[in-house]
């Protein structure tokens, strides 16, 4: 199944966990002394919807307090502010879609060489590149990673794997193990992304 199909079929636990995993992978390297896993409390809310509101409030407070010290990404804070407090709300699916797209866009941008040079191009060229990227992301979500760079292709496969793992254990005794597997997959993806960001930063230095 495509990512689009898996998202459409996911239940609230799958949507919540997929969204949290997407945001977790895109967190920047924390500052010294900062919490290395500020979104970890939300995983408990993925397992138990009754604690979701409290866990969501907790991570929002942590990231809001870390704006100047840990460099928490503004986009992640914005998406967390838009997360439905009621995990069973219809808005959960729209929020999960937004988190998925944000993670895909992040990986797509890092696949492209010469980011600074691209930003200096004319407005018309920038708009054209944005349209091309949107078309690529839409195609990846419906048809797979063909023509995608290695980071985007890897992120697409990771999102699909997480959703498939969660779907296979819906309503079973293995649901807890599935969430741990999703967390492990996301943590590994975060390591990969941070390594790429660090390598590109050294190359520009």
Summarize pLDDT for 11-50 with one digit per residue, the tens. Answer: 999 999 999 999 999 988 877 777 788 899 999 999 899 9
CB 22, CB 79: distance < 8 Å:
no
Residue 116 has pLDDT above 50, yes or no: no
The pLDDT confidence band at residue 184, using thresholds 50, 70 and 90, is very high
188 vs 9: CA distance, rounded Å = 25
Least trusted range by pLDDT, from 42-46, 108-112, 127-131, 141-145: 127-131
What does the pLDDT read at residue 171?
A: 62
Residue 155 has pLDDT above 90, yes or no: yes
What does the pLDDT look like over 79-88, one tens digit per residue?
Answer: 999 999 999 8
- pTM of the complete model: 0.88
Least trusted range by pLDDT, from 71-75, 83-87, 137-141, 193-197: 71-75
What string of DSSP letters covers the chain?
--HHHHHHH--HHHHHHHHHHHHHHTPPPPPTTS-S-TTHHHHHHHH-GGGHHHHHHHHHHHHHHTTTTT---HHHHHHHHHS-SSTTSTHHHHHHHHHHHHHHHHHHHHHSS-HHHHHTS-HHHHHHHHHHHHHHHHHHHHH-STT--HHHHHHHHHHHHHHHHHHHTTTSTTHHHHHHHHHHHHHHHHHHHHHHHHHHHHHH-
Q: In angstroms, how far apart are the furthest CA atoms of the chain? A: 55
What does the pLDDT read at residue 67?
A: 58
């Amino acid at each position: 199944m495509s990512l689009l199909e898996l998202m459409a079929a996911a239940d609230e636990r799958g949507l919540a966990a997929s969204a949290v995993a997407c945001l977790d992978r895109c967190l920047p390297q924390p500052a010294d002394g900062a919490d290395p896993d500020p979104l970890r409390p939300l995983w408990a809310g993925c397992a138990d919807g009754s604690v979701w509101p409290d866990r969501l409030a907790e991570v929002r407070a942590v990231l809001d307090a870390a704006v100047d010290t840990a460099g928490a990404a503004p986009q992640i804070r914005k998406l967390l502010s838009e997360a439905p407090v009621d995990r069973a709300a219809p808005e959960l699916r729209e929020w999960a879609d937004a988190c998925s797209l944000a993670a895909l866009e992040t990986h797509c941008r890092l696949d492209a060489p010469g980011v600074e040079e691209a930003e200096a191009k004319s407005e018309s060229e920038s708009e054209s590149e944005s349209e091309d990227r949107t078309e690529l992301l839409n195609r990846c979500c419906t048809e797979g990673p063909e023509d995608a760079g290695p980071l985007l292709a890897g992120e697409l496969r990771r999102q699909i794997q997480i959703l498939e793992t969660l779907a296979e254990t819906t309503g079973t005794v293995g649901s807890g193990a599935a969430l741990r597997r999703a967390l492990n997959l996301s943590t590994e993806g975060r390591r990969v992304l941070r390594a790429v960001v660090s390598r590109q930063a050294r190359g520009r230095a």
